[in-house]
A = this chain, B = another copy of it.
Amino acid sequence: MRDVSIIGIGQTPVGEHWDKSLRHLAYDALSAAMKDANVARADALYVGNMLSGEVSGQAHLGALVADFAGLRGIEAIKVEAACASASAALRQAYIGVASGLQDVVIAVGVEKMTDDVGSRLTSGLASAADADYEVVHGVSFVALNALVMQRYLHEYKVSREDFAGFAINAHANGANNPNARFQAPISREEFIRSGMVAAPIGVLDASPMADGAAAVILCPTEQAREFAENPIRILGSAVATDSLSIHDRRDPLWLSAAEISSKKVYKQAGVGPEDLDFFELHDAFTIMSALSLEASGFAERGKGTWLARDGEIGKDGKVPITTQGGLKARGHPVGATGLYQVVEAIQQLRGEAGANQIENARLGMTQNIGGSGATIISHIFERLN
């Protein structure tokens, strides 16, 4: 098994790209990453996407993106794991390089959500949940998360306001990220006053839908310096799953797949949560930030919000999270999000994170969540220089 590194990154701004189709967005991110890596060809392409079939009437994105990127003929496959699709693409790219079958591999995540001519976005997003046992009752995806949050408030005696810190931190960081969908800070009062989407989830608890694409280029670590001055090593990579249905889990407030996948990457990387300089978690809703911190070993059960309250999630805190705005402020183009997290992690490790730079960041983790926790994919990255 070969050691694998990332030698190039690319992203489009997150937003409403009315003038660009799926293939254009994917190309923009992919070509930027290839340029960054100084590569003109690739052995394989993995495309992460969730909704192109429902929203754009387009499947078969592997071949489509390969062709449009001038890579006609190469091996190209689309992978899907709901909102964890882009990390799943990275995972397959990682395995491909590790195997020795593929040398230079592209992983790109792309999603186009604003161009929803058939009004299938809400039902499309709900397809991340269990169609036969959850969605059949009419519940939307945000409503499922609201049920979890309501239970959390009840069980752990915290209030909706205790989640404010997650949104405030994300928006503060998004304000410094030129690619973020929202680049304005928010106040605690704005958070408290924000309208309900599905109680207790308010507008400022929820990440916005968006269009976007992000890409990385991988190669064997031993070849990485031929391409890049500052390759970033993938120290750990793990996928874990759980039931799609929340009611079918032993504990609806415990992300068992986050626990399994984070323990796997800690073991593979030989580190613990205390060694990480930052953690790009999946804040689709503020409740998911708390659950992710708890199941991944950063906080005790029921105390995830304490880190936000105590100012520990900012760039000088114990566990900096959503360092470039997270899903909440950078935006959440679902099938692309996992690779935005990774691109931002690489920026931190290269020292290219601008005003959001964490000083001397050497080791970082990303965690991408599909559905309400049914697929959770964690990666740990290390600066080589």
Contact = CB atoms under 8 A, between A and B. Distances in A.
A92 B77 contact: yes
Contact of A60 (B62, B99, B370): B370
A74 B239 CA distance: 8
A336 to B, nearest CB: 15
* Dominant secondary structure at the A interface: mixed
A75 B126 CA distance: 22
In this complex, which of A1, A53, A238, A243 has the most chain B Cβ atoms within 10 angstroms of its Cβ?
A53
B63 A81 contact: yes
Interface in A90-123: 91-92, 95-96, 98-102, 123
Copies in the complex: 2
Contact of A82 (B59, B72, B92, B374): B59
Interface stretch (A130-138, A142-150, A173-181): A130-138
B81 A77 contact: yes
A77 B88 contact: yes
A263 to B, nearest CB: 11
A56 to B, nearest CB: 6
B135 A57 contact: yes
Given A53-B124, A81-B63, A132-B21, A240 B75 contact: yes
A95 B50 CA distance: 23
A295 to B, nearest CB: 13
A120 to B, nearest CB: 9
A73 B128 contact: no
Contacts of A66: 241
Nearest to A125: B59
Contact of A64 (B21, B23, B99, B130): B130
Given A77-B79, A241-B66, A101 B92 contact: no
A244 interface: yes
A368 to B, nearest CB: 12
Given A58-B132, A62-B375, 10 more contacts: A1-B100, A44-B239, A57-B123, A58-B127, A58-B131, A59-B82, A62-B88, A63-B374, A76-B241, A95-B101
3 closest pairs, A vs B, by CB? A99-B99, A63-B374, A58-B131
30 contacts: A53-B124, A57-B131, A57-B135, A59-B127, A59-B128, A60-B129, A60-B371, A60-B374, A63-B244, A63-B371, A64-B130, A66-B241, A67-B241, A67-B244, A67-B374, A73-B242, A73-B260, A74-B241, A75-B240, A76-B239, A76-B241, A77-B81, A77-B88, A77-B239, A77-B375, A78-B81, A95-B96, A95-B99, A95-B101, A99-B100
